[in-house]
A = this chain, B = another copy of it.
Amino acid sequence: MFEKKEKKTGDSKQRLTSLAELGEFGLIERLTKHVKRYHAETLKGIGDDAAVIDAGDKVILLSTDLLVEGIHFDLTYMPFKHLGYKAAVVNISDIAAMNGIPKQMTVSLAVSSRFSAEALDELYAGIVMACDKYKVDLVGGDTSSNVKGLAISVSIVGEAKKEEVVYRNGAGAGDLLCVTGDLGSAYIGLLILEREKSVFQVDPNMQPELTGFDYQIGRQLRPEARTDIRNLLLGTGIKPTSMIDISDGLASEILHLCKQSDVGCKLFEEKIPIDEHTRELAKEYKIIPSVAALSGGEDYELLFTVKQDDYEKIKDVAGITIIGHMTASSEGKYMITPDGKSIPITAQGWDGMRERQ
């Protein structure tokens, strides 16, 4: 095995593929292409917010997220309690995105010796706080050492009636594209925290200037999962045709729905719901506000489509905004600006849009 390893990593004649070349989704596609399905109960495997497993009169939803220090969170400004809360919420959000009810959760930690038990008490206090709020049972996990830093792996189980589950692949041309809440604030919150971190690093006696940014910072450090949308939509008699949660940014999530449903879309820039203060702050940072929404991510709102026939039912529901509609796949995926220009939506929307400044 020693030799084998040499061959794999040390042979300069063999051209190896860097992970950056592939990107996250390219890598997942490459790695999972040999996966087979053995059980008829596995209704949905890789490729949605959660896996769906048949369990008789209901289905079990299963999702997992791995968060690592330095990549997903920065302990300079992320208090442990918020981190625990957020780690739980991002998983609960995946169940909400399937139109399911979160039920059980496991939490595994790998922690270096630099952390104290008191720090982990705080982390768990945050996890338990989220479990209390969203009525989730913490049922297992493990704790081990880590060479460096902190890694948190959360897995979640939810349930739903079979006919209630909403997948990413059910959108049709003509369906209305809707979003809950408002977008972009979590990203602006991150920019504020990063700015204050650099000030703090230069002069640790400087007190960070965080007052007046409560909403943006709260959205970044302590997001909520939209488990309430399930009942809201049930009340209106609407079942979405497709749904996803907004973790990576509106653009990326729209592309997921389009790809998996094999449709195109028209998104109207001026319809994207953005908090007024966030809009002003974005401008201070010289960012087009819609770009914060399209590329920022971490808002954990829900993006979903409904049949055009449901327009009357959905148009006045508070907290839900119609931001566009799906089209035939051949028509492409575009954002329409207020002055009528069509801009292709790309997952790396950032650079393309910045040119408009």
Query: Which chain A residues have a beta carbon within 8 Å of chain B's beta carbons?
Result: 1-5, 8-9, 14, 16-22, 24, 27-28, 30-32, 34-39, 41-42, 44-46, 48, 50-51, 53, 55-58, 60, 62-66, 68-72, 75-80, 82, 103-104, 106, 108-111, 113, 115-122, 124-125, 128, 131-132, 135-149, 151, 153, 155, 157, 196, 200, 207-208, 210, 221
Contact = CB atoms under 8 A, between A and B. Distances in A.
B113 A42 contact: no
Nearest to A5: B79
B42 A103 contact: yes
Nearest to A27: B143
B45 A147 contact: no
Contact of A117 (B1, B30, B200, B210): B30
Give how many copies assemble into the complex: 2
B45 A137 contact: yes
A38 B137 contact: yes
A51 B106 contact: yes
A197 to B, nearest CB: 8
Closest 10 CB pairs of A and B: A51-B139, A153-B153, A16-B116, A66-B108, A17-B117, A70-B147, A155-B155, A45-B139, A55-B55, A38-B135
A322 B318 CA distance: 66
Given A2-B77, A51-B140, A56-B55, A19 B148 contact: no
Contacts of A24: 142-144
